[in-house]
Amino acid sequence: MGIFIILMGVQGAGKGTQARLLSEKYGIPQVSTGDLFRAMKTQDTPLAREVQEIMKRGELISDELTNRIVRERLAQDDAQAGAILDGYPRSQGQAQALDAMLRERGQQVKLVALLELDRHLAIMRAEGRRFSLDKERTYNIYFNPPQYRVAGVWLDDKTKEPLIQREDDYRDAVVRRIDVYFETTRPLIDFYQAQGKLVHVNANQSIEAVSEALIQAVEQHR
Ligand code: ADP
Ligand code: ADP
């Protein structure tokens, strides 16, 4: 049947962190629309440039383009048995498109986990987020720092190279995106609540505790 799990939650709630853990546990890929759009950076097409501009402003990409990108990603071999969706859907239009996409394949969303975190903590989590150069490891300078800091520069535990910050993780852009989140996601929460698929998870716990809660929710919905 496939295991399609949606991780919802404000910026900084831990979707990326948890998607990676669930992906390892269930052997299905993490599909992050933010990562897919960021990967377009290397392309020099009018569309790719437009996407970059919209992201820089902290606004949302159109449903049409977002749905297309997800459809293409889910058509790949590794996503036939399921995926952990991180950052998608973010509107009712996207949620309906996803339902239709999966229905065509005889599949459906299994579970929607809402990682709940208040606005203040979300701002700190997103603003304090740092990545290794290969983006494989995520740290947080306030909550989950690396071992070393040399002359004010945080270093990756594994490679000892300087950590990088996403260019839209500066305070103003973070606050703007978080406000958009709280304004726009309510209908989506109601949509999945009505389908009986929504599970609330307290995101203000250790990474391990959140992970355990998520795995328990997945097992109960299997
Ligand atoms: P999202 O994908 O929801 O925006 P991330 O997974 O990127 O969130 O996490 C945001 C930041 O918070 C990262 O710096 C990450 O290391 C940190 N983080 C994630 N989960 C926790 C947690 N449970 N406790 C403390 N820090 C966390
Ligand atoms: P964040 O959750 O911090 O905004 P993401 O990595 O999820 O970060 O997304 C980065 C940017 O990519 C968003 O600000 C938005 O411009 C675009 N984006 C990602 N996912 C979607 C989506 N589902 N719908 C529309 N735009 C999206």
Residue 45 lies in a domain: yes
Catalytic residue among 15, 20, 73, 130: 15
Q: Quick one: average pLDDT of 72-101?
A: 96
Question: If you measure from the C-alpha of residue 14 to the centroid of ligand 1, how many angstroms do you get, rounded to a whole number?
Answer: 4
Prediction pTM value: 0.94
Q: Quick one: average pLDDT of 44-71?
A: 91
**177 has catalytic annotation:** yes
124-162 confidence digits (pLDDT tens)? 999 999 999 999 999 999 999 999 999 999 999 999 999
Instruction: Tell me how many domains the chain contains.
Output: 1
Q: Ligand 2: which atom is nearest the Cα of residue 70?
A: 23
Given a cut of 80, whether residue 1 has pLDDT beyond it is no
The C-alpha atoms of residue 158 and residue 144 are separated, in whole angstroms, by 15
Residue 164 lies in a domain: no
Residue 166 lies in a domain: no
Rounded to the nearest integer, the mean pLDDT of the chain is 94
Residue 185 lies in a domain: yes
Given a cut of 80, whether residue 164 has pLDDT beyond it is yes
Does the C-beta of 9 come closer than 6 Å to ligand 1?
Answer: yes
Instruction: Give the closest residue (by CA) to ligand 2 atom 2.
Output: 11
- pLDDT of amino acid 56: 82
CATH number at residue 191: 3.40.50.300
Which residue pairs from 188-194 have beta carbons closer than 8 angstroms and sit at least 24 positions apart in sequence? 188/8, 188/89, 188/90, 188/91, 188/92, 188/95, 189/8, 189/114, 191/92, 191/95, 192/6, 192/8, 192/95, 192/109, 192/112
Residue 151 lies in a domain: no
Given a cut of 90, whether residue 55 has pLDDT beyond it is no
Residue 154 lies in a domain: no
Residue 144 lies in a domain: no
- pLDDT of amino acid 160: 97
Does the C-beta of 211 come closer than 6 Å to ligand 1?
Answer: no
Instruction: Provide the percentage of residues in the chain whose pLDDT is more than 70.
Output: 100
In three-state secondary structure terms, 109 is: strand
Residue 129 lies in a domain: no
C-beta of residue 4 within 8 angstroms of C-beta of residue 108: yes
Query: What domain range includes position 94?
Result: 3-118+172-221
The closest of 158, 180, 172 to 60, measured between CA atoms, is 180
**137 has catalytic annotation:** no
